[in-house]
């Protein structure tokens, strides 16, 4: 059975509106449902909206654990700061996430399904004159979705289309997990996909410099090395990316965090592998890349052995069958 990604919502949510810029969380979950918003709300006019995406997984011992909760909380606090939303209290955000997941525990699907957690923060100040000022008030809320595979068809090699002209977002906005970045990528993505129905994702490589795809980070791998772009403000610093790096290190791979040029892909394709990482994408093998009229096929176009090995070690930590050497699991129900 496949659960549609992001279209089914669990019964319970949590909300914390600000009062005088301070988040008010009463410690109770509420039934999932619509809320009212001023037509002049800052988020609707000036884009003061951010989100997070993380998952809770059933563990092999029957408990439920959230994967890398504190890292997602930290990143959301950082996104709020970069978009000048009222400063988040990490402890409150963390508690809201845990409370929501505990309330929805009966709706978490069995593996390979999981519970997707979507914390969201929007600017609510009713003031359309506030174009050049930050929102003074905001609403923080957490909703959950039971989810299955993000890419249709489970673990299968993806086809990426290389975009060399249009950047995914503006460089200074790349690190903010915000809907605005997706809005910017939408039109070029649709245009590119219209010409080729077989494309799963666009790989942004402005001027030949690879950043990431629409919603996942990009990796190259061979038997000895794992390569990904070095951290800079041009792209979203995935928690999955950092997990893959740590696990690859544990497995003895040499890690290279450096610029990746389109020009080296042809060479890698002949002897190595490529994959994407993200909470939704997990670790997804790349089989083919389309660049202009040329087609770059990695290996035989099937998932590579190193990719599958890294994926297995990631999934093992997520589902509790592997040792949690890095302290990434938060048990919410034992």
Count of residues for the chain? 334
> How buried is residue 9: exposed, middle or buried, by Cβ count under 10 Å (0-12/13-18/19+)?
middle
What are residue 277's DSSP bridge partners? Answer: 217, 283
Residue 177 in the binding site for ligand PLP (CB under 6 A): yes
DSSP for 44-95 reads: HHH--EEE--EEEEE-TTS-EEEESHHHHHHHHHHHHHHTTPSPP-HHHHHH
For the chain, give me the number of helices (H) and strands (E)?
7, 18
Residue 241 in the binding site for ligand PLP (CB under 6 A): yes
- 200/188 Cα distance (integer angstroms): 14
Residue 240 in the binding site for ligand PLP (CB under 6 A): yes
Residue 239 in the binding site for ligand PLP (CB under 6 A): yes
Supply the minimum distance, in Å, between the C-beta of residue 68 and ligand PLP.
8
Assign residue 68 a region: left if phi > 0, alpha if psi is -120 to 50, beta otherwise?
left
Which one among 113, 157, 238, 320 touches ligand PLP, defined by CB under 6 A?
A: 238
Report which of 14, 16, 11, 10 is spatially closest to residue 100, judged by C-alpha positions: 14
How far apart, in Å, are the Cα atoms of 116 and each of 34, 65, 195, 319?
19, 12, 32, 14
Using alpha carbons only, give the angle 183, 80, 49 rounded to the nearest 5 degrees.
Answer: 35
Size of the site for ligand PLP (CB under 6 A): 15
Q: Pairing relation of β-strands 294-297 and 273-278?
A: unpaired
Choices 10-18, 59-67, 211-219, 285-293 (CB under 6 A): range interacting with ligand PLP: 211-219
Residue 236 in the binding site for ligand PLP (CB under 6 A): yes
Which one among 138, 145, 216, 289 touches ligand PLP, defined by CB under 6 A?
A: 216
Question: 108 or 245, CB closer to ligand PLP?
Answer: 245
Which one among 86, 113, 278, 285 touches ligand PLP, defined by CB under 6 A?
A: 278
Choices 82-90, 276-284, 294-302, 315-323 (CB under 6 A): range interacting with ligand PLP: 276-284
DSSP for 118-138 reads: EEEEEE--B-TT-TTS--S-E
Residue 217 in the binding site for ligand PLP (CB under 6 A): yes
Which one among 279, 284, 288, 307 touches ligand PLP, defined by CB under 6 A?
A: 279
Residue 304 in the binding site for ligand PLP (CB under 6 A): no
Distance of CA 138 to the CA centre of its chain: 23
Contact mark string toward ligand PLP, 37..66, x via CB under 6 A: ----------------x-------------
Neighbouring residues of 33: CB distance < 8 A, sequence distance ≥ 6 = 13
Which one among 127, 212, 228, 282 touches ligand PLP, defined by CB under 6 A?
A: 212
Supply the minimum distance, in Å, between the C-beta of residue 281 and ligand PLP.
8
Pick out residues in 310-329 that bind ligand PLP (CB under 6 A). none
Question: 124 or 181, CB closer to ligand PLP?
Answer: 181
Choices 16-24, 36-44, 110-118, 214-222 (CB under 6 A): range interacting with ligand PLP: 214-222
Question: 168 or 299, CB closer to ligand PLP?
Answer: 168
Q: Which residues form the interface with ligand PLP (CB under 6 A)?
A: 53, 177, 181, 212, 215-217, 236, 238-241, 277-279
């Amino acid at each position: 059975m496949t659960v549609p990604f992001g279209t089914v919502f669990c019964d319970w949510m949590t909300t914390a509106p600000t009062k005088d810029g301070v988040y008010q969380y009463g410690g109770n979950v509420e039934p999932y449902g619509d809320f009212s918003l001023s037509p002049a709300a800052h988020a609707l006019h000036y884009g003061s909206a951010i989100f997070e995406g993380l998952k809770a997984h059933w563990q092999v011992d029957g408990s439920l654990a959230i994967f890398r909760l504190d890292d997602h909380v930290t990143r959301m606090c950082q996104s709020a700061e970069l978009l000048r939303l009222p400063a988040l209290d990490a402890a409150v955000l963390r508690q809201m996430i845990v409370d929501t997941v505990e309330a929805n525990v009966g709706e978490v699907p069995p593996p390979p399904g999981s519970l997707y957690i979507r914390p969201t923060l929007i600017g609510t100040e009713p003031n359309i004159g506030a174009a050049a000022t930050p929102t003074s008030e905001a609403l923080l809320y957490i909703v959950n979705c039971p989810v299955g595979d993000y890419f249709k068809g489970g673990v299968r090699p993806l086809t990426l289309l290389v975009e060399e002209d249009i950047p995914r977002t503006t460089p200074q906005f790349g690190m903010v997990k915000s809907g605005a970045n997706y809005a910017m990528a939408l039109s070029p993505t649709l245009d590119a996909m219209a010409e080729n129905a077989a494309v799963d994702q666009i790989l942004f490589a402005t001027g030949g410099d690879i950043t990431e795809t629409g919603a996942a980070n990009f990796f190259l791998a061979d038997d000895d090395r794992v390569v990904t772009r070095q951290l800079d403000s041009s792209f979203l610093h995935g928690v999955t990316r950092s997990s893959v790096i740590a696990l690859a290190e544990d497995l003895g791979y040499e890690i290279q965090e450096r610029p990746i040029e389109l020009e080296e892909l042809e060479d890698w394709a002949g002897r190595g592998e490529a994959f994407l990482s993200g909470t939704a994408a997990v670790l997804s093998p790349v089989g083919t890349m389309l660049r202009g009229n040329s087609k770059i096929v990695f290996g035989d176009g099937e998932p590579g052995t190193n990719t599958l090995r890294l994926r297995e070690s990631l999934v093992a930590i997520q589902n509790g069958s592997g040792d949690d050497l890095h302290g990434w699991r938060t048990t919410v129900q034992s």
